[in-house]
Amino acid sequence: MMIHRDSVKVLDVQSASLQNYIHSSEKQKALYKRTLFVVSISQIFGGAGLAAGVTVGALLAQQMLGTDAYAGLPSALLTLGSAGAALFVGRLSQRYGRRAGLTAGFMTGGLGAIGVILAAIMNSVFLLFTSLLVYGAGSATNLQARYAGTDLANGKQRATAISMTMVFTTFGAVAGPNLVNVMGDFALSIGVPSLAGPFILGAASYILAGLVLFFMLRPDPLVIARTIESTNQERSDKGVLSTIEHTENKRGIIVGATIMVLTQIVMVAIMTMTPVHMMHHGHGLGAVGLVIGFHIGAMYLPSLVTGFLVDKLGRMAMSIASGTTLLLAGLFAAFAPGDSMVLMVIALSLLGLGWNFGLISGTALIVDSTETSTRAKTQGTVDVLIALSGAAGGALSGLIVAGSSYSTLSLVGGILSLLLIPVVKWSQGGKNNTL
């Protein structure tokens, strides 16, 4: 009987806490800012975990297998694991809130990294591949965390909220690869193979990201947003308007997902084969690293400006800007002389910038077009499509270059990005002003 009374008291306290946020716009604003801060901190750790492991995954597989033939498997396994985890994290977040979903995703990624370390110590290829699959949960969670900051944002803040978390991801993503040698030396000092060193950083980073969210993401922004929306719905009489809004929401989800999938395919396809193309034209690893560094910088660093533009100019305007920028990237990559570092830097920077425009505008559209009762589940499903489209882009890029050339790949990518324009035109057939 005492346990039952205690449970009732806890529920009453939680209900009172929710009511405080429902009826106070000031508390909602404060929680929105706090959520952005907490998610941004977790993204620094998450970015480090992602980049550190990805940097040496192929090298570790190559070393353990003694051949280059399967060196691409780590990337494929990470992508496959990411796709499955995106669905899992999305559904878990939908049922229990962002805190539960994101914490579980990062912790799972951390366990995967520990598995990779053990695989290197035991020289177990099976454990390595299994662990890399689990490790992919970290990258999926890192991507889905961008949604958490939008739960309490209004329509004019959502893209800015998305972009802020992406900027903080950059700090970790840049630090991770730069610590590869340091972590390799540390691994050797404790009797672990040097290539497993970055996964020590990956494990610590993912687990820390999960702990930050578990202890600091309180109250849960999605739970609060869902309660506010439910209260507002009870106060309004929807009738026929509900059917119209539901149709328009479905259109927005399709458009947002298409934008992100197309930009992901184009970006991954051209980026994947650029190092191979450069090496064939006499560039060294330093030059390749410089070009890819500019590319990654362009993917994330412009985010704050992009978020502002998406909120001010509109989702569709920036989606067209994404397609145009990706077309320019494809043209530069296709027609630039293979020995021109400057033009390759421009091409890959434009490629990253076009992806940035597409991801932020598409993500904002998904948030605009979903209700809190189904939002996290839908976002997880969309991120599965993004992960799989990236895998497809990477796989097809090699086939196109092998059958034709890098120039053909770049032109195909540029032309494919133009499909964003008819997608935008189709979206404008609806009457949803948020589009």
pLDDT, residue 235, reads 63
Q: At how many degrees (to 10) do helices 197-216 and 180-189 cross?
A: 100
For residue 42, is pLDDT > 80?
yes
Average pLDDT score over residue span 360-376: 90
Q: Residue 215's CB: how many other CB atoms inside 10 A?
A: 11
pLDDT range class, residue 74, cuts 50, 70, 90:
confident
pLDDT range class, residue 331, cuts 50, 70, 90:
very high
Report pLDDT digits (tens) over 274-286: 887 887 888 876 7
For residue 3, is pLDDT > 50?
no
Asked which of 94-98, 164-168, 188-192, 333-337 is least confident by mean pLDDT, the reply is 164-168
pLDDT, residue 317, reads 94
> How far apart are alpha carbons 205 and 106 in whole angstroms?
9
For residue 293, is pLDDT > 80?
no
Higher pLDDT, 274 or 235: 274
Residue 185 in tokens:
């030396």
pLDDT, residue 400, reads 87
Alpha helices in 123-239 (DSSP H): 125-148, 158-178, 180-189, 197-216, 221-235
pLDDT, residue 344, reads 93
Average pLDDT score over residue span 158-162: 88
Residue 195: which H helix or E strand, with range?
none
Q: Cis omega before residue 74 (within 30°)?
A: no
For residue 302, is pLDDT > 50?
yes
pLDDT, residue 169, reads 84
For residue 210, is pLDDT > 50?
yes
Average pLDDT score over residue span 114-143: 92
> How far apart are alpha carbons 259 and 359 in whole angstroms?
7
> How far apart are alpha carbons 219 and 224 in whole angstroms?
7
Residues 6+ apart with CB under 8 A from 5: none
CATH of segment(s) 244-429:
1.20.1250.20
Phi and psi of 155, rounded to 5°?
-60, -25
pLDDT, residue 375, reads 87
Residues of the chain with CATH 1.20.1250.20: 25-227, 244-429
> How far apart are alpha carbons 164 and 149 in whole angstroms?
9
For residue 165, is pLDDT > 70?
yes
Residues 6+ apart with CB under 8 A from 270: 329, 330, 333, 348, 351, 397, 409, 410, 413
Nearest-10 Cα torsion for 271, 274, 276, 277:
150
For residue 70, is pLDDT > 50?
yes
Average pLDDT score over residue span 28-48: 91
Higher pLDDT, 148 or 238: 148
**Residue 399 burial (10 A CB sphere; 0-12, 13-18, 19+):** exposed
Residue 205 in tokens:
């980073």
Average pLDDT score over residue span 358-383: 90
Average pLDDT score over residue span 310-328: 94
Average pLDDT score over residue span 279-297: 78
Average pLDDT score over residue span 231-239: 61
Report pLDDT digits (tens) over 105-122: 999 999 999 999 999 999
Distances 122 to 65, 78, 125, 131, 196 between C-alpha atoms, Å: 13, 21, 9, 13, 12
pLDDT, residue 6, reads 40
pLDDT, residue 285, reads 62
Q: At how many degrees (to 10) do helices 240-280 and 406-417 cross?
A: 160
Average pLDDT score over residue span 7-21: 51
For residue 9, is pLDDT > 60?
no
Residues 6+ apart with CB under 8 A from 288: 274, 275, 278, 279
- What architecture does CATH give domain 25-227? Up-down Bundle (1.20)
